[in-house]
Structure 1
Amino acid sequence: MTSGDRKFNVVIAGGGSTYTPGIVKMMLQHQADFPLASITLYDNDPDRQSVLGEALAIVMREEAPEVAFAYTTDPETAFTGKDFCMAHIRVGGYPMRQQDERIPLKHGCVGQETCGAGGIAYGMRSITGMLEIIDYMERYAPDCWMLNYSNPASIVAEACRVLRPTSKVINICDMPVGTRRRMSYIVGKEYDDLDVRYFGLNHFGWWTSVKDVHTGKDYLPQLLEYVGENGYLTQAAIDAQHMDESWQATHKKARDLVAVDPQFLPNTYLKYYLYPDYVVEHSDPNHTRADEVIEGRERDVFGAAREIVRKGTATGGEFTVDNHASFIVSLARAIAYNTHEVMLCIVENKGAISNFDDDAMVEVPCMVGSDGPEALCQGEIPTFERGLMQEQLAVEKLVVEAYIEKSYLKMWQALTLSKTIPSATVAKAILDDLIEANKGWWPELS
């Protein structure tokens, strides 16, 4: 198959997301390698989606009138005839994200949307939403592939493994993409010049190798030295991504992650597990990351959308391209054209990490083709990393078991086992508050 043989129909599930405009713009830029017949937005929040939908209809008319565009809250309309579903849903929206972050902080624990108690709460809500979208896809578009980058990806991936084991769902994350881009700034190369190896769970892993794809030059010693002194923070990254101060602090903290584990390059999210006391100390329980997003990205994207609609044109460049999302098109192309490109995906281990659970959903390099991702063998991993991963894996499995069994006890155990929570007493207090906040969102636990 060549790119000229077929045009693809794409549905974006989570059409009201602030990331949707950037993803649409990014897809339009890649039509030479991933030609489009149609883009449809789907969301169960019509008011939120319609703001972006109206603006993107103008963008599409001006930039790609040959591509059919629609937005809808009807799943049959959204999914029928689609080749790919790009899913980035946030069940409960920003109001529930605020609760995920504030409730743990009230108890002196990490408040973060994908890690610790907040991630567990979000995961319990996300499972229901993901299963609903998968079922729509399988009912109305049985040949469709879902490329899911909804958070928290590890819990969602484990739920898919257990509850929808035969579904055509690939769980992915853009965090390693962003970090790899910062690595390219540090060594003075382009993103595609780097050949990387990585192992872990989602938001919980390490780079073991970073080499020049052309010459084989090993950049790992240079990167370890740089990150050990500066973290992943570079002026180029700040300028390119208009990075918020909280993200700058996160990238800088990577130097302390290297200090405790100097042989590999860490995923920045490990700070929540290895330095939870630091995170809590530098958090404001009344103004968390959710508030920053509402005051920043949320305001900017929806403000841009309303301005496009007011003017009736998008020629002012109000929406920007989401460069991190380019990996989504690469993944879709790999499936559509059987390219066997190597990409990081979240897949069942099945021996890829030889001394880790076979049924663990791990994040490792995979060769991606028309049958989906095939994990590349990473061999054995050291005791320190394996111990951390084993504990976090147990947390994620307990959350999914608690969801299925509607088990209060297993949710309590999951929170107790998290490295972000100091005791079963604190875990129970957080759980009781989360249950109250998530009434109508979680299964009723007993």
Structure 2
Amino acid sequence: MLRMLRVHDWDRAWRALPLCLLVVATVIAVADSSAPPYDRVVTVALAAVVAVWHWWMVLAHPEWPERALAPMAVYFTGLVALTWALSSRHPAYGLLVLACFPTAFATLPGRYAYLGVAVTAFVAVDGPSSLLNSRSPWLIASALTGAVLAAFIGWSIRALEAEVERRRAANRALESANQALENANQALESANLRLALLGEENAELQGRLLAAARQTGVTGERGRLAREIHDTVAQGLAGIVTQLEAAEEAANDAGAVRRRLAVARSLARESLTEVRRSLDDMRPGPLAESKLPEALSSLVSGWSAANELPATLTVTGTARLLHPEVEVAVYRAVQEALANVARHAGAGKTGVTLSYMEDVVVADIRDDGVGFTPLAPAGTGGGAGTSGGFGLTAMRQRVVRLAGNVEVESAPGQGTAISVTIPAIPAAAERETT
């Protein structure tokens, strides 16, 4: 900024130089008593005209010099003419002639400044007429030498100004780069501060998430154990009670009693095995050793024999291995629905359909029992949709956890249909999540 002020100061100094030398020359001319008073008045008047002319064309309009050719050409022509007139009246105004050399470069744009220097050189040797009429070679040589010297000095000044301007532009670019670098450093510091704050917030959030995950894990494990106990112990005990009640009713038929007791014994052993597997968080026993359709076939046939009710299993689509949790959910849903049919439906026949579709697997359980009027998602009344309260709730929780859904359709006297739909997550997903 200081350098820019100095350059501007030099520009103002060059433009003010003619006025300063004009004042000095006028003082000398007025102080010269050899000149008549009238001549001195005329000289002062011409000097005043030059002062006003220079002030109006240069100082009052600083945007004109070195930019607008027309007004500056008129100005410099008038300045040279007035300077010639003054230098003809008194030799002191030779100072003003000398001032015209730098003024040509300070006011005329581009190459026109050299033309102004040449014209000033003619005035310096007392005008064109004096130069042309003179037979002295030294006068011509001095005029040419003065013009060349003035042109060289002017060229040097302009080259120096150009270099100053170039350096000024380079300094501005450097200052801009430094400012940009400083802004970038400030932005980086701000970003680092925000990252540090985010790191602290993330650490705190991670702690909260870990605590929530532990609580969710505890709650999920409790729900899992409740569902597994219901699906194993509760259903096994219910089946055993049913067989014992049937054996008691057939007390006079020794063969029937033995069959019922054998079924009750078998249910008790299966329930014990399922409890052990559930506590170890393993798949249901039938799924541990066979595929889902085979396990359901065994479940349906065993249920039919135990309850002496006809039941069928139909498999549609291409059977394939699914994620263990999906197969467990389907198996438990069918198991729960069949248990409800045995306890409440009074059905004559039951059908189970397992459908493998492109993106879902569907298990449909239908019976022709007494049916009921669904009042709530959990269902009440008899048939496949009844679970004694917790059964269907546990089924829904297990299925919904896998982004599936459970639908129950029933009406009094028209049987019950329950449909379980679960995304067909492939078995490969198990390896990806472990």
TM-score under structure 2 length normalisation: 0.23
Say which structure is richer in helix: 2
Structure with larger Rg: 2
Q: TM-score, normalised by structure 1?
A: 0.23
Higher relative contact order (CA 8 A, sep 6+): 1
